[in-house]
Amino acid sequence: MTVQNSKIISLPKFLDSRGNLSFAEQFTHIPFKIERVYWIYDVPGGETRGGHAYRDNQEFVIALSGSFDVLVDDGGEQKVFSLNRSYYGLYVPNGLWREMRNFSTNSLALVLSSTSYLEEDYIRNYDKFLTLRIK
């Protein structure tokens, strides 16, 4: 898997004077079956989240509110995506190192995941990630 496999995916948006609406359906907009949803909020300024890779889990990250950056890294190349609208998200395939940083005040990150939470699926050590990539 390389950073070229991660990509921004636009979601439908219904613009309305009453307020806007967006949605996402598995397989139609999200390229996997959604097994889990989690969200990250109240992030103090300067904090970095999600410094890890998953062996199996795929994710789709949406900035529901505010803004933040997602860095993806395949061990050779890095790419930074700025998320700041709720009508698109970033697809992060399994096997990539990823970090979330530069959270704005009151930002809200919604993450759709392809697997249930499993600590064994995490690679939390960057050097180990690099060794596994070489194999």
Q: Which is nearer to ligand TYD, 14 or 38 (CB)?
A: 38
Catalytic residue flag (residue 29):
no
Distances (CA, A) of 57 to 26, 43, 85, 95: 15, 23, 24, 8
Q: Which is nearer to ligand TYD, 16 or 127 (CB)?
A: 127
Query: Closest distance between ligand TYD and the C-beta of residue 23, in Å?
Result: 22
Structure tokens at 7: 């990509």
DSSP conformation letters of 7-24? EEEE--EE--TT--EE--
Catalytic residue, candidates 7, 13, 52, 85? 52
Question: Site residues (CB under 6 A) for ligand TYD?
Answer: 36, 38, 40, 49-50, 52, 117
**Catalytic site positions:** 52
